[in-house]
Amino acid sequence: MFRRVALIGLGTMGPGIAARLARGGVDVAAFDVAPAAVERARTMLGIAAGVLDQLGIAPAGGAEGSVRFVASIAEAVEGADLVIENVPENHKVKVETYRAVEPLVGASVVIATDTSGIPITELQAGLAHPARFVGMHWSNPPHIIPMIEVIGGRDTAPETVDAMRDFIRGLGLLPVVLKKDVPGFVENRILYALLREAVDLVERGVIAPEDLDTCVSWGVGYKIAVIGPMALLDMAGMDIYHAVSSFLNADLCARDDVADLTRAQIKAGRLGIKSGGGIYDYTPETIAALQQQRARKLVAIRRILEEGDASP
């Protein structure tokens, strides 16, 4: 199991990742080029730790790891046996980060990327030791959602994938190993298929945004939280799925570009919570309240899902 981890890039996911690793007994050295990101991470680290307490996640082996913030990549990777890259979702920035890291670590040190969907094969191209490079895709918020996708690229060694899977499992989390390296992996492919249809329905005036959210959260979302899509096929019946899909599939949104609704929002500077407005409007007060409310609900749902868990 990896014991010393370098976390390069903090951003939105970094504090939660660092907190969860430390709770698993790992010592984390965290670095970000932006001082503001480091300061935010310092604050968020304590909040994430509090949520882990609510979940009843005790330190692995009774001994919690540590998180320290360092001033350079070189300081972060010194002595590390695993490097996790969590920089912005930009191919060039990620590759530049690997070029900075590789000369500083031994050939046996595993380098993992938390990319949301850039193929691992693309990112490992040009590395001196591509066999030790692997995808480790956390889901946001990473300290609450236990599922982590593990993706090997064309040149990733099977041993690297196995080591990452075992590490995640050792933290008490749920590794999902992909058999193929596809853009977006699995979680985001499913999510973006849903979002494409949702945006299309709102854009065409079929339903209001707030009603769509209610429909999905209390309809399909409510079911899928308990019954996965493939198990849902068995529950509904293959004959029912075949009958409905035979006419519905042809009418589902199949556009391969970005919807006009999102283009218009971006042009208007309405990026969502980060800008104070997107589909909905937000104030600093409502943002704080939403974050607390959603964290509480995710914690409660996770507790329920963990009760008497059985497969499928």
Together in a domain, 19 and 135: yes
At 204 the pLDDT is 97
Whether residues 102 and 193 share a domain: the answer is no
Residues 158 and 20 in one domain: yes
pLDDT band at 308 (very low <50, low <70, confident <90, very high): low
User: Do residues 9 and 121 share a domain?
Assistant: yes
pTM assigned to the model: 0.94
Task: For residue 252, tell me if it sits in a domain.
Answer: yes
Alpha-carbon distance of 80 to 21, in angstroms, equals 13
Q: Does residue 307 carry a pLDDT above 90?
A: no
Q: What's the pLDDT score for residue 217?
A: 97
- Which residue, among 63, 69, 70, has the nearest Cα to 22 in the 3D structure? 63
78 within some domain = yes
Count the alpha carbons within 13 Å of 217 in the hemisphere toward its beta carbon. 10
182 assigned to some structural domain: no
Mean pLDDT of the chain: 96
Do 112 and 198 fall within a single domain?
Answer: no
273 and 300 co-located in one domain: yes
**Residue-wise pLDDT tens digits, 194-208:** 999 999 999 999 999
Alpha-carbon gap, residue 23 to 67, rounded angstroms:
10
Residue where one domain finishes, among candidates 119, 154, 177:
177
Total structural domains within the chain: 2
Last residue of a domain, one of 146, 177, 208: 177
pLDDT of the residue at 229? 97
pLDDT of 57:
94
The whole domain housing 171 covers 4-177
CATH of the domain at 136: 3.40.50.720
Tell me, yes or no, whether 258 and 208 share the same domain: yes
Q: Does 152 lie in the same domain as 92?
A: yes
Pairing of strands 67-69, 82-85: unpaired
Q: Model confidence over 29-54: pLDDT tens digits?
A: 999 999 999 999 999 999 999 999 99
The model's confidence at residue 62, banded by pLDDT at 50, 70 and 90, is confident
| CB 131, CB 111: distance < 8 Å | no
Percent of the chain scored above 90 by pLDDT?
95
- Please report the pLDDT score of residue 311 as a whole number: 57
**Residue 132 φ then ψ, to 5°:** -95, 10
